[in-house]
Structure 1
Protein backbone atom coordinates (compact mmCIF):
# COMPACT_ATOMS: atom_id res chain seq x y z
CA UNK A 1 0.00 0.00 0.00
CA UNK A 2 1.25 3.49 -0.90
CA UNK A 3 0.76 6.20 1.73
CA UNK A 4 0.82 9.97 1.30
CA UNK A 5 3.08 11.72 3.85
CA UNK A 6 4.72 15.08 4.53
CA UNK A 7 8.06 16.18 6.00
CA UNK A 8 9.02 19.72 7.05
CA UNK A 9 12.41 20.70 5.63
CA UNK A 10 13.91 24.18 6.11
CA UNK A 11 10.52 25.78 6.72
CA UNK A 12 8.71 24.20 3.74
CA UNK A 13 6.78 20.94 3.54
CA UNK A 14 7.75 18.16 1.14
CA UNK A 15 5.00 15.75 0.18
CA UNK A 16 6.02 12.18 -0.59
CA UNK A 17 4.60 8.81 -1.55
CA UNK A 18 5.72 6.09 0.83
CA UNK A 19 5.77 2.30 0.64
CA UNK A 20 7.69 1.27 3.74
CA UNK A 21 7.71 -1.77 6.01
CA UNK A 22 7.65 -0.46 9.58
CA UNK A 23 10.81 -1.28 11.52
CA UNK A 24 12.18 -3.71 8.90
CA UNK A 25 15.43 -1.82 8.03
CA UNK A 26 15.00 -2.66 4.33
CA UNK A 27 17.17 -0.79 1.81
CA UNK A 28 15.40 2.50 0.96
CA UNK A 29 15.00 3.74 -2.62
CA UNK A 30 14.39 7.50 -2.87
CA UNK A 31 12.96 8.45 -6.28
CA UNK A 32 13.29 12.01 -7.62
CA UNK A 33 11.01 12.84 -10.58
CA UNK A 34 11.65 15.34 -13.36
CA UNK A 35 9.94 18.20 -15.20
CA UNK A 36 6.99 18.56 -15.77
CA UNK A 37 5.88 15.56 -13.67
CA UNK A 38 5.33 14.71 -10.00
CA UNK A 39 5.91 11.74 -7.68
CA UNK A 40 3.04 9.73 -9.23
CA UNK A 41 5.21 9.15 -12.33
CA UNK A 42 6.88 6.33 -10.34
CA UNK A 43 3.73 4.34 -9.50
CA UNK A 44 4.10 1.68 -12.22
CA UNK A 45 7.72 1.07 -11.23
CA UNK A 46 6.90 1.07 -7.49
CA UNK A 47 4.28 -1.65 -8.09
CA UNK A 48 6.92 -3.91 -9.71
CA UNK A 49 9.65 -3.54 -7.09
CA UNK A 50 9.76 -6.20 -4.34
CA UNK A 51 8.45 -5.37 -0.85
CA UNK A 52 11.95 -6.15 0.48
CA UNK A 53 12.75 -2.60 -0.72
CA UNK A 54 11.24 0.45 0.99
CA UNK A 55 10.36 3.30 -1.38
CA UNK A 56 9.92 7.04 -0.89
CA UNK A 57 9.01 9.28 -3.86
CA UNK A 58 8.80 13.00 -3.05
CA UNK A 59 7.23 15.76 -5.09
CA UNK A 60 10.19 18.05 -5.75
CA UNK A 61 10.00 21.41 -3.89
CA UNK A 62 7.22 23.54 -5.40
CA UNK A 63 5.72 20.65 -7.40
CA UNK A 64 2.25 19.13 -6.87
CA UNK A 65 1.65 18.91 -3.08
CA UNK A 66 5.09 20.13 -1.92
CA UNK A 67 5.16 23.75 -0.71
CA UNK A 68 6.39 26.43 -3.11
CA UNK A 69 9.62 27.98 -1.86
CA UNK A 70 9.75 31.54 -0.55
CA UNK A 71 12.39 32.98 -2.85
CA UNK A 72 13.07 32.24 -6.52
CA UNK A 73 16.77 31.83 -5.66
CA UNK A 74 15.76 28.86 -3.46
CA UNK A 75 15.38 26.97 -6.77
CA UNK A 76 19.08 27.31 -7.57
CA UNK A 77 20.75 23.90 -7.75
CA UNK A 78 22.97 24.26 -4.62
CA UNK A 79 19.88 25.18 -2.53
CA UNK A 80 17.86 22.29 -3.98
CA UNK A 81 20.71 19.87 -3.25
CA UNK A 82 20.92 21.06 0.38
CA UNK A 83 17.15 20.82 0.82
CA UNK A 84 16.91 17.31 -0.64
CA UNK A 85 19.94 16.16 1.39
CA UNK A 86 18.14 17.40 4.53
CA UNK A 87 15.00 15.52 3.39
CA UNK A 88 17.00 12.30 2.97
CA UNK A 89 18.52 12.71 6.45
CA UNK A 90 15.01 13.13 7.87
CA UNK A 91 13.47 10.03 6.23
CA UNK A 92 16.54 7.74 6.14
CA UNK A 93 16.15 6.34 9.67
CA UNK A 94 19.33 4.27 9.58
CA UNK A 95 18.57 2.56 6.28
CA UNK A 96 20.90 2.13 3.31
CA UNK A 97 19.75 4.64 0.66
CA UNK A 98 19.71 4.05 -3.10
CA UNK A 99 19.04 7.37 -4.82
CA UNK A 100 17.13 7.29 -8.14
CA UNK A 101 16.68 10.38 -10.31
CA UNK A 102 15.10 11.15 -13.69
CA UNK A 103 15.43 14.38 -15.71
CA UNK A 104 15.48 17.30 -13.17
CA UNK A 105 15.43 14.73 -10.38
CA UNK A 106 18.62 13.36 -11.93
CA UNK A 107 20.09 16.86 -12.26
CA UNK A 108 19.72 17.11 -8.46
CA UNK A 109 20.71 13.48 -7.75
CA UNK A 110 24.07 13.67 -9.59
CA UNK A 111 25.56 16.52 -7.49
CA UNK A 112 23.78 15.36 -4.33
CA UNK A 113 25.62 12.04 -4.65
CA UNK A 114 28.87 13.96 -5.29
CA UNK A 115 28.63 16.38 -2.37
CA UNK A 116 26.70 14.28 0.19
CA UNK A 117 28.11 10.86 -0.62
CA UNK A 118 27.86 9.56 2.98
CA UNK A 119 24.05 9.79 2.66
CA UNK A 120 23.74 7.23 -0.12
CA UNK A 121 25.18 3.82 -0.97
CA UNK A 122 24.26 3.64 -4.68
CA UNK A 123 22.99 5.97 -7.40
CA UNK A 124 20.59 5.15 -10.25
CA UNK A 125 20.01 7.68 -13.04
CA UNK A 126 17.31 7.48 -15.73
CA UNK A 127 17.83 9.79 -18.75
CA UNK A 128 19.44 12.68 -16.91
CA UNK A 129 22.69 14.27 -18.06
CA UNK A 130 25.60 14.50 -15.63
CA UNK A 131 26.15 18.28 -15.09
CA UNK A 132 29.78 18.23 -16.30
CA UNK A 133 28.91 16.19 -19.40
CA UNK A 134 25.84 18.33 -20.19
CA UNK A 135 27.86 21.55 -19.99
CA UNK A 136 30.54 20.07 -22.26
CA UNK A 137 27.86 18.91 -24.73
CA UNK A 138 26.25 22.35 -25.04
CA UNK A 139 29.75 23.75 -25.68
CA UNK A 140 30.71 21.20 -28.32
CA UNK A 141 27.55 19.60 -29.77
CA UNK A 142 25.29 21.70 -32.06
CA UNK A 143 22.74 18.85 -31.89
CA UNK A 144 22.55 19.06 -28.09
CA UNK A 145 22.19 22.86 -28.26
CA UNK A 146 19.38 22.36 -30.77
CA UNK A 147 17.64 19.77 -28.57
CA UNK A 148 17.82 22.18 -25.61
CA UNK A 149 16.32 25.22 -27.37
CA UNK A 150 12.88 24.49 -25.82
CA UNK A 151 14.34 25.88 -22.56
CA UNK A 152 14.18 29.41 -24.04
CA UNK A 153 10.37 29.20 -23.95
CA UNK A 154 10.37 27.96 -20.36
CA UNK A 155 12.56 30.79 -19.06
CA UNK A 156 10.72 33.52 -20.99
CA UNK A 157 9.21 36.03 -18.55
CA UNK A 158 5.81 35.35 -20.19
CA UNK A 159 6.20 31.55 -20.07
CA UNK A 160 3.27 31.03 -17.69
CA UNK A 161 0.90 32.90 -20.02
CA UNK A 162 2.32 31.28 -23.20
CA UNK A 163 1.86 27.78 -21.76
CA UNK A 164 -1.59 28.49 -20.34
CA UNK A 165 -2.88 30.14 -23.55
CA UNK A 166 -1.93 27.05 -25.58
CA UNK A 167 -3.46 24.65 -23.01
CA UNK A 168 0.10 23.49 -22.15
CA UNK A 169 0.70 21.98 -25.59
CA UNK A 170 4.49 22.26 -25.24
CA UNK A 171 4.40 20.26 -22.00
CA UNK A 172 1.99 17.71 -23.50
CA UNK A 173 4.30 17.31 -26.51
CA UNK A 174 7.29 16.80 -24.22
CA UNK A 175 5.63 14.17 -22.08
CA UNK A 176 3.71 12.43 -24.89
CA UNK A 177 0.24 13.38 -26.11
CA UNK A 178 -0.97 9.79 -25.73
CA UNK A 179 -0.95 10.15 -21.96
CA UNK A 180 -3.51 12.97 -22.24
CA UNK A 181 -5.63 11.25 -24.88
CA UNK A 182 -6.07 8.34 -22.42
CA UNK A 183 -7.26 10.78 -19.70
CA UNK A 184 -5.64 8.78 -16.92
CA UNK A 185 -5.72 9.86 -13.27
CA UNK A 186 -2.04 10.77 -13.67
CA UNK A 187 -2.64 13.05 -16.68
CA UNK A 188 -5.47 14.77 -14.74
CA UNK A 189 -3.10 15.36 -11.78
CA UNK A 190 -0.52 16.89 -14.14
CA UNK A 191 -3.03 19.24 -15.78
CA UNK A 192 -4.36 20.31 -12.37
CA UNK A 193 -0.78 21.12 -11.29
CA UNK A 194 0.04 23.08 -14.44
CA UNK A 195 -3.18 25.11 -14.11
CA UNK A 196 -2.14 26.29 -10.63
CA UNK A 197 -0.13 29.49 -11.23
CA UNK A 198 1.99 29.08 -8.08
CA UNK A 199 2.94 25.49 -8.97
CA UNK A 200 3.66 26.32 -12.62
CA UNK A 201 5.91 29.25 -11.63
CA UNK A 202 7.79 27.03 -9.16
CA UNK A 203 8.36 24.40 -11.87
CA UNK A 204 9.66 27.01 -14.33
CA UNK A 205 11.95 28.47 -11.65
CA UNK A 206 14.13 25.35 -11.90
CA UNK A 207 14.98 26.38 -15.47
CA UNK A 208 15.17 30.11 -14.74
CA UNK A 209 17.75 29.44 -12.01
CA UNK A 210 19.89 27.00 -14.02
CA UNK A 211 23.63 27.54 -13.38
CA UNK A 212 24.37 27.47 -17.12
CA UNK A 213 21.74 28.67 -19.56
CA UNK A 214 21.71 27.11 -23.03
CA UNK A 215 23.21 29.36 -25.74
CA UNK A 216 21.19 30.16 -28.86
CA UNK A 217 22.03 28.30 -32.07
CA UNK A 218 23.60 31.44 -33.58
CA UNK A 219 25.99 31.95 -30.65
CA UNK A 220 29.58 33.03 -31.27
CA UNK A 221 32.59 30.76 -30.78
CA UNK A 222 33.86 33.08 -28.05
CA UNK A 223 30.69 32.64 -25.96
CA UNK A 224 31.02 28.85 -26.27
CA UNK A 225 34.73 28.97 -25.40
CA UNK A 226 33.94 30.97 -22.25
CA UNK A 227 31.56 28.33 -20.85
CA UNK A 228 33.20 26.71 -17.83
CA UNK A 229 32.69 22.98 -17.31
CA UNK A 230 32.12 22.12 -13.63
CA UNK A 231 34.17 19.26 -12.17
CA UNK A 232 31.69 16.99 -10.38
CA UNK A 233 33.00 13.56 -9.39
CA UNK A 234 30.90 10.71 -8.00
CA UNK A 235 32.53 7.88 -6.10
CA UNK A 236 29.53 5.64 -5.53
CA UNK A 237 28.43 2.65 -7.65
CA UNK A 238 26.17 4.18 -10.30
CA UNK A 239 23.71 2.68 -12.78
CA UNK A 240 22.80 4.78 -15.82
CA UNK A 241 19.62 3.67 -17.63
CA UNK A 242 19.05 5.35 -20.98
CA UNK A 243 16.15 5.38 -23.45
CA UNK A 244 17.88 6.02 -26.79
CA UNK A 245 14.90 7.77 -28.44
CA UNK A 246 15.35 10.78 -26.16
CA UNK A 247 14.16 14.12 -27.62
CA UNK A 248 15.85 16.15 -24.84
CA UNK A 249 19.35 14.64 -24.92
CA UNK A 250 21.80 13.70 -27.65
CA UNK A 251 24.02 10.73 -26.75
CA UNK A 252 26.96 13.16 -26.65
CA UNK A 253 25.84 14.00 -23.09
CA UNK A 254 27.23 10.68 -21.88
CA UNK A 255 30.54 10.80 -23.77
CA UNK A 256 33.47 10.11 -21.41
CA UNK A 257 31.20 10.03 -18.37
CA UNK A 258 33.57 7.48 -16.79
CA UNK A 259 35.98 10.36 -16.10
CA UNK A 260 33.49 11.80 -13.60
CA UNK A 261 31.79 8.56 -12.51
CA UNK A 262 34.43 5.80 -12.46
CA UNK A 263 32.08 3.17 -10.95
CA UNK A 264 29.40 3.51 -13.64
CA UNK A 265 27.36 0.76 -15.32
CA UNK A 266 25.46 1.84 -18.47
CA UNK A 267 22.38 0.10 -19.87
CA UNK A 268 20.57 1.24 -23.03
CA UNK A 269 17.02 0.61 -24.24
CA UNK A 270 16.85 1.22 -28.00
CA UNK A 271 13.05 1.58 -28.22
CA UNK A 272 12.36 3.85 -25.22
CA UNK A 273 12.34 7.64 -25.06
CA UNK A 274 13.18 10.16 -22.33
CA UNK A 275 10.29 8.68 -20.29
CA UNK A 276 11.94 5.27 -19.97
CA UNK A 277 10.68 4.59 -16.42
CA UNK A 278 7.03 4.93 -17.53
CA UNK A 279 7.39 3.27 -20.94
CA UNK A 280 9.46 0.25 -19.88
CA UNK A 281 8.95 -0.19 -16.11
CA UNK A 282 9.58 -3.97 -16.27
CA UNK A 283 12.95 -3.43 -18.01
CA UNK A 284 13.91 -0.68 -15.54
CA UNK A 285 12.90 -2.86 -12.59
CA UNK A 286 15.02 -5.79 -13.77
CA UNK A 287 18.10 -3.61 -14.34
CA UNK A 288 17.61 -1.97 -10.94
CA UNK A 289 17.35 -5.27 -9.06
CA UNK A 290 20.42 -6.70 -10.82
CA UNK A 291 22.37 -3.57 -9.83
CA UNK A 292 21.09 -3.39 -6.23
CA UNK A 293 21.85 -7.07 -5.61
CA UNK A 294 25.37 -6.92 -7.12
Structure 2
Protein backbone atom coordinates (compact mmCIF):
# COMPACT_ATOMS: atom_id res chain seq x y z
CA UNK A 1 0.00 0.00 0.00
CA UNK A 2 1.40 3.38 -1.00
CA UNK A 3 0.31 7.00 -0.60
CA UNK A 4 0.18 9.35 -3.56
CA UNK A 5 -1.12 12.83 -4.35
CA UNK A 6 -3.89 13.09 -6.92
CA UNK A 7 -4.68 16.56 -8.27
CA UNK A 8 -8.39 16.82 -9.00
CA UNK A 9 -11.01 19.60 -8.96
CA UNK A 10 -8.50 22.11 -7.61
CA UNK A 11 -7.39 19.95 -4.66
CA UNK A 12 -4.34 17.88 -3.89
CA UNK A 13 -5.92 14.70 -2.57
CA UNK A 14 -3.82 12.43 -0.37
CA UNK A 15 -4.74 8.93 -1.57
CA UNK A 16 -3.78 5.53 -0.17
CA UNK A 17 -3.50 3.09 -3.07
CA UNK A 18 -3.26 -0.68 -3.36
CA UNK A 19 -3.38 -2.83 -6.49
CA UNK A 20 -3.27 -1.78 -10.11
CA UNK A 21 -5.28 -1.99 -13.29
CA UNK A 22 -8.27 -0.16 -14.74
CA UNK A 23 -10.96 -1.36 -12.31
CA UNK A 24 -11.19 1.28 -9.58
CA UNK A 25 -12.53 0.69 -6.06
CA UNK A 26 -12.92 4.19 -4.62
CA UNK A 27 -13.39 4.27 -0.83
CA UNK A 28 -14.99 7.33 0.79
CA UNK A 29 -14.57 7.84 4.54
CA UNK A 30 -16.82 9.54 7.06
CA UNK A 31 -16.64 11.89 10.04
CA UNK A 32 -14.29 12.26 11.86
CA UNK A 33 -12.24 9.71 9.92
CA UNK A 34 -9.69 9.74 7.09
CA UNK A 35 -8.34 7.50 4.38
CA UNK A 36 -6.81 5.46 7.22
CA UNK A 37 -10.27 4.04 8.02
CA UNK A 38 -10.03 1.77 4.94
CA UNK A 39 -6.65 0.26 5.89
CA UNK A 40 -8.19 -3.22 6.35
CA UNK A 41 -10.10 -3.19 3.04
CA UNK A 42 -7.51 -1.88 0.56
CA UNK A 43 -5.41 -5.09 0.53
CA UNK A 44 -8.55 -7.18 0.02
CA UNK A 45 -9.72 -5.02 -2.87
CA UNK A 46 -6.29 -5.24 -4.48
CA UNK A 47 -6.41 -9.02 -4.09
CA UNK A 48 -9.77 -9.02 -5.90
CA UNK A 49 -8.19 -7.29 -8.89
CA UNK A 50 -9.07 -3.66 -8.16
CA UNK A 51 -6.91 -0.60 -8.02
CA UNK A 52 -8.14 0.58 -4.62
CA UNK A 53 -8.03 4.27 -3.72
CA UNK A 54 -8.87 5.73 -0.32
CA UNK A 55 -8.55 9.54 -0.37
CA UNK A 56 -8.66 12.03 2.45
CA UNK A 57 -11.79 13.87 1.40
CA UNK A 58 -12.15 17.64 1.06
CA UNK A 59 -11.20 19.34 4.32
CA UNK A 60 -9.68 16.21 5.88
CA UNK A 61 -6.26 14.84 6.71
CA UNK A 62 -3.47 15.58 4.26
CA UNK A 63 -5.68 16.80 1.43
CA UNK A 64 -5.17 20.50 0.68
CA UNK A 65 -6.39 23.16 0.63
CA UNK A 66 -9.02 23.11 3.40
CA UNK A 67 -11.69 25.71 2.53
CA UNK A 68 -13.18 27.38 5.60
CA UNK A 69 -16.50 28.55 4.13
CA UNK A 70 -19.66 26.47 4.47
CA UNK A 71 -20.64 26.69 0.80
CA UNK A 72 -17.52 24.75 -0.22
CA UNK A 73 -19.04 21.68 1.44
CA UNK A 74 -22.46 21.62 -0.18
CA UNK A 75 -23.24 18.30 -1.82
CA UNK A 76 -22.68 19.53 -5.36
CA UNK A 77 -19.05 20.35 -4.56
CA UNK A 78 -18.50 16.96 -2.92
CA UNK A 79 -19.94 15.15 -5.95
CA UNK A 80 -17.55 17.10 -8.17
CA UNK A 81 -14.63 15.81 -6.09
CA UNK A 82 -15.69 12.18 -6.51
CA UNK A 83 -16.19 12.62 -10.24
CA UNK A 84 -12.80 14.33 -10.59
CA UNK A 85 -11.05 11.53 -8.69
CA UNK A 86 -12.69 8.93 -10.94
CA UNK A 87 -11.66 10.87 -14.03
CA UNK A 88 -8.10 11.24 -12.74
CA UNK A 89 -7.89 7.47 -12.22
CA UNK A 90 -8.64 6.74 -15.88
CA UNK A 91 -10.58 3.65 -14.77
CA UNK A 92 -12.97 1.87 -17.12
CA UNK A 93 -15.00 0.34 -14.26
CA UNK A 94 -15.75 1.93 -10.89
CA UNK A 95 -17.03 0.45 -7.65
CA UNK A 96 -17.81 2.98 -4.94
CA UNK A 97 -17.45 1.95 -1.28
CA UNK A 98 -18.44 4.45 1.38
CA UNK A 99 -19.04 4.86 5.10
CA UNK A 100 -20.83 7.51 7.18
CA UNK A 101 -20.60 10.94 5.47
CA UNK A 102 -18.85 9.34 2.53
CA UNK A 103 -21.92 7.15 2.17
CA UNK A 104 -24.24 10.15 1.99
CA UNK A 105 -22.11 11.43 -0.87
CA UNK A 106 -22.15 7.98 -2.49
CA UNK A 107 -25.94 7.63 -2.24
CA UNK A 108 -26.34 10.98 -3.97
CA UNK A 109 -23.65 10.23 -6.56
CA UNK A 110 -25.35 6.97 -7.54
CA UNK A 111 -28.82 8.52 -7.60
CA UNK A 112 -27.74 11.34 -9.89
CA UNK A 113 -25.63 9.01 -12.07
CA UNK A 114 -22.75 11.51 -12.01
CA UNK A 115 -20.53 8.72 -13.36
CA UNK A 116 -21.35 5.15 -14.30
CA UNK A 117 -20.87 2.76 -11.38
CA UNK A 118 -20.50 -1.00 -11.58
CA UNK A 119 -21.34 -1.52 -7.92
CA UNK A 120 -22.13 0.49 -4.80
CA UNK A 121 -21.26 -0.48 -1.22
CA UNK A 122 -22.74 1.53 1.65
CA UNK A 123 -21.74 1.15 5.31
CA UNK A 124 -23.84 2.39 8.22
CA UNK A 125 -25.64 5.30 6.65
CA UNK A 126 -29.24 5.09 5.44
CA UNK A 127 -30.56 6.31 2.13
CA UNK A 128 -31.18 10.06 2.60
CA UNK A 129 -34.88 9.84 1.69
CA UNK A 130 -35.43 7.03 4.20
CA UNK A 131 -33.54 8.90 6.90
CA UNK A 132 -35.55 12.04 6.21
CA UNK A 133 -38.81 10.15 6.70
CA UNK A 134 -37.61 8.41 9.87
CA UNK A 135 -36.33 11.52 11.60
CA UNK A 136 -39.67 13.26 11.06
CA UNK A 137 -41.59 10.53 12.89
CA UNK A 138 -39.02 9.16 15.35
CA UNK A 139 -38.19 11.06 18.53
CA UNK A 140 -35.56 8.41 19.27
CA UNK A 141 -33.71 9.14 16.02
CA UNK A 142 -33.93 12.87 16.64
CA UNK A 143 -32.24 12.30 19.99
CA UNK A 144 -29.54 10.19 18.34
CA UNK A 145 -28.92 12.98 15.82
CA UNK A 146 -28.62 15.77 18.41
CA UNK A 147 -25.05 16.54 17.36
CA UNK A 148 -26.16 17.70 13.89
CA UNK A 149 -27.99 20.59 15.54
CA UNK A 150 -25.05 21.31 17.83
CA UNK A 151 -22.73 21.51 14.82
CA UNK A 152 -24.78 24.39 13.41
CA UNK A 153 -23.52 26.70 16.17
CA UNK A 154 -20.61 28.92 15.05
CA UNK A 155 -17.06 28.22 16.40
CA UNK A 156 -18.14 26.46 19.64
CA UNK A 157 -18.19 22.91 18.21
CA UNK A 158 -14.68 23.35 16.81
CA UNK A 159 -13.46 24.54 20.20
CA UNK A 160 -15.06 21.66 22.06
CA UNK A 161 -14.00 18.95 19.59
CA UNK A 162 -10.34 20.00 19.69
CA UNK A 163 -10.06 20.69 23.43
CA UNK A 164 -7.72 18.48 25.43
CA UNK A 165 -5.75 17.27 22.39
CA UNK A 166 -9.01 16.44 20.58
CA UNK A 167 -10.36 14.41 23.49
CA UNK A 168 -13.86 14.39 21.93
CA UNK A 169 -12.53 12.91 18.71
CA UNK A 170 -10.87 10.08 20.63
CA UNK A 171 -14.07 9.51 22.59
CA UNK A 172 -16.15 9.36 19.41
CA UNK A 173 -14.33 6.21 18.35
CA UNK A 174 -13.45 4.54 21.62
CA UNK A 175 -16.73 5.46 23.34
CA UNK A 176 -19.02 4.27 20.54
CA UNK A 177 -17.08 1.10 19.72
CA UNK A 178 -18.26 -2.23 21.06
CA UNK A 179 -14.89 -3.93 20.57
CA UNK A 180 -12.70 -1.17 21.98
CA UNK A 181 -9.54 -3.16 21.32
CA UNK A 182 -9.91 -2.14 17.65
CA UNK A 183 -9.19 1.46 18.65
CA UNK A 184 -5.88 1.40 20.54
CA UNK A 185 -4.05 4.65 21.39
CA UNK A 186 -2.12 4.70 18.10
CA UNK A 187 -5.37 4.71 16.08
CA UNK A 188 -6.96 7.36 18.28
CA UNK A 189 -3.81 9.47 18.04
CA UNK A 190 -4.04 9.38 14.24
CA UNK A 191 -7.59 10.75 14.16
CA UNK A 192 -6.87 13.31 16.87
CA UNK A 193 -3.82 14.59 14.98
CA UNK A 194 -5.89 14.96 11.82
CA UNK A 195 -8.55 16.97 13.66
CA UNK A 196 -5.86 19.28 15.06
CA UNK A 197 -4.41 20.18 11.66
CA UNK A 198 -4.90 23.89 10.85
CA UNK A 199 -8.41 24.50 9.56
CA UNK A 200 -9.36 20.82 9.65
CA UNK A 201 -11.96 20.81 12.42
CA UNK A 202 -13.93 23.69 10.94
CA UNK A 203 -13.79 22.06 7.52
CA UNK A 204 -15.02 18.73 8.91
CA UNK A 205 -17.94 20.32 10.77
CA UNK A 206 -18.82 22.46 7.75
CA UNK A 207 -19.98 19.27 5.99
CA UNK A 208 -22.84 19.20 8.52
CA UNK A 209 -23.51 22.90 8.29
CA UNK A 210 -23.75 22.75 4.51
CA UNK A 211 -26.11 19.76 4.64
CA UNK A 212 -28.56 21.72 6.80
CA UNK A 213 -28.10 25.12 5.19
CA UNK A 214 -28.53 23.78 1.65
CA UNK A 215 -31.15 21.16 2.58
CA UNK A 216 -29.48 17.99 1.34
CA UNK A 217 -32.61 15.86 1.75
CA UNK A 218 -34.96 18.19 -0.17
CA UNK A 219 -34.40 16.72 -3.63
CA UNK A 220 -35.78 14.02 -5.88
CA UNK A 221 -34.43 10.52 -5.31
CA UNK A 222 -34.96 8.39 -8.41
CA UNK A 223 -34.39 4.68 -7.98
CA UNK A 224 -30.78 3.50 -8.06
CA UNK A 225 -30.19 0.76 -10.63
CA UNK A 226 -26.58 0.03 -9.65
CA UNK A 227 -26.28 -3.24 -7.67
CA UNK A 228 -25.99 -2.07 -4.07
CA UNK A 229 -24.75 -3.70 -0.87
CA UNK A 230 -25.42 -2.26 2.59
CA UNK A 231 -23.22 -3.48 5.45
CA UNK A 232 -24.62 -2.41 8.81
CA UNK A 233 -23.26 -2.71 12.34
CA UNK A 234 -26.39 -3.16 14.44
CA UNK A 235 -25.03 -1.42 17.56
CA UNK A 236 -24.88 1.99 15.86
CA UNK A 237 -25.36 4.64 18.55
CA UNK A 238 -26.12 7.37 15.99
CA UNK A 239 -28.50 5.57 13.60
CA UNK A 240 -31.33 3.22 14.51
CA UNK A 241 -32.07 0.04 12.59
CA UNK A 242 -35.39 1.56 11.51
CA UNK A 243 -33.43 3.77 9.11
CA UNK A 244 -32.91 0.69 6.94
CA UNK A 245 -36.65 0.05 6.52
CA UNK A 246 -37.93 1.03 3.09
CA UNK A 247 -34.55 1.28 1.37
CA UNK A 248 -35.73 -1.12 -1.34
CA UNK A 249 -38.12 1.58 -2.56
CA UNK A 250 -35.06 3.54 -3.70
CA UNK A 251 -32.71 0.74 -4.79
CA UNK A 252 -33.62 -1.76 -7.49
CA UNK A 253 -30.97 -4.41 -6.74
CA UNK A 254 -30.34 -4.35 -2.97
CA UNK A 255 -28.45 -6.65 -0.60
CA UNK A 256 -28.31 -5.94 3.15
CA UNK A 257 -25.90 -7.64 5.53
CA UNK A 258 -26.35 -6.84 9.23
CA UNK A 259 -23.62 -7.47 11.81
CA UNK A 260 -24.86 -7.94 15.40
CA UNK A 261 -22.63 -6.66 18.16
CA UNK A 262 -20.79 -4.21 15.90
CA UNK A 263 -20.87 -0.42 16.18
CA UNK A 264 -21.11 2.38 13.65
CA UNK A 265 -17.39 1.99 12.87
CA UNK A 266 -18.15 -1.26 11.09
CA UNK A 267 -15.25 -1.68 8.65
CA UNK A 268 -12.69 -0.82 11.32
CA UNK A 269 -14.28 -2.74 14.19
CA UNK A 270 -15.18 -5.92 12.31
CA UNK A 271 -12.78 -6.02 9.34
CA UNK A 272 -12.73 -9.81 9.08
CA UNK A 273 -16.53 -10.01 8.82
CA UNK A 274 -16.79 -7.00 6.53
CA UNK A 275 -14.06 -8.30 4.23
CA UNK A 276 -15.70 -11.71 4.00
CA UNK A 277 -18.96 -10.04 2.96
CA UNK A 278 -17.16 -7.87 0.41
CA UNK A 279 -15.28 -10.82 -1.06
CA UNK A 280 -18.47 -12.84 -1.50
CA UNK A 281 -20.53 -9.99 -2.92
CA UNK A 282 -17.95 -8.39 -5.19
CA UNK A 283 -16.98 -11.63 -6.93
CA UNK A 284 -20.56 -12.86 -7.27
CA UNK A 285 -22.88 -12.47 -10.27
CA UNK A 286 -24.04 -8.96 -11.11
Same fold (TM over 0.5): yes
CA distance in 1, matches of 2:68, 2:19: 31
Q: Which residue is equivalent to 1:238?
A: 228
Displacement after TM superposition at 1:174 (Å): 2.1
Residue 251 (1) aligns with residue 241 (2): yes
Q: Pick one of 15, 19, 25 that aligns with 1:29.
A: 25
How is 1:141-156 mapped onto 2 (pairs within 5 angstroms)? 141-156=138-153
Q: CA deviation at 1:167?
A: 4.1
State which of 35, 54, 58 in structure 2 corresponds to 1:57: 54
Instruction: Give the alignment's Cα RMSD to 1 decimal.
Output: 2.2
Distance 1:117 1:74, change over 3 A: closer
8 Å contact from structure 2 (residues 123, 230) kept in 1: yes
Matched with 2:190 is: 189
Q: Is the 2:170–2:192 Cα contact (8 Å) retained in structure 1?
A: no
CA shift at 1:247, angstroms?
A: 0.5
Q: Secondary structure at the match of 1:29?
A: strand
Q: 1:291 aligns with which of 268, 281, 284?
A: 281
Q: How does 1:56-95 map to 2 (within 5 A)?
A: 56-67=53-64, 68-69=66-67, 71-91=69-89, 93-95=90-92
Q: Using the alignment, how far apart are the partners of 1:52 and 1:240 within structure 2? A: 21
TM-score scaled to structure 1, two decimals? 0.87
Residues 88, 119 of structure 1: 8 Å contact kept? no
**Which of 112, 124, 127 is equivalent to 1:130?**
127
Question: Counterparts of 2:51 and 2:36 in 1: how far apart (Å)?
Answer: 16
1: CA distance, partners of 2:220 / 2:141: 18
Greater mean alpha carbon deviation, residues 276-285 or residues 235-244:
276-285
In structure 2, stretches of 5+ residues that fail to align are none
Partner deviation per Cα, 1:17-46 (whole Å, 9 max, x = no partner): 11132xx43x32110010001001111222
Task: Report the equivalent of 1:219.
Answer: none
How many positions carry a matched residue from both structures?
276
Match of 2:7 in 1: 8
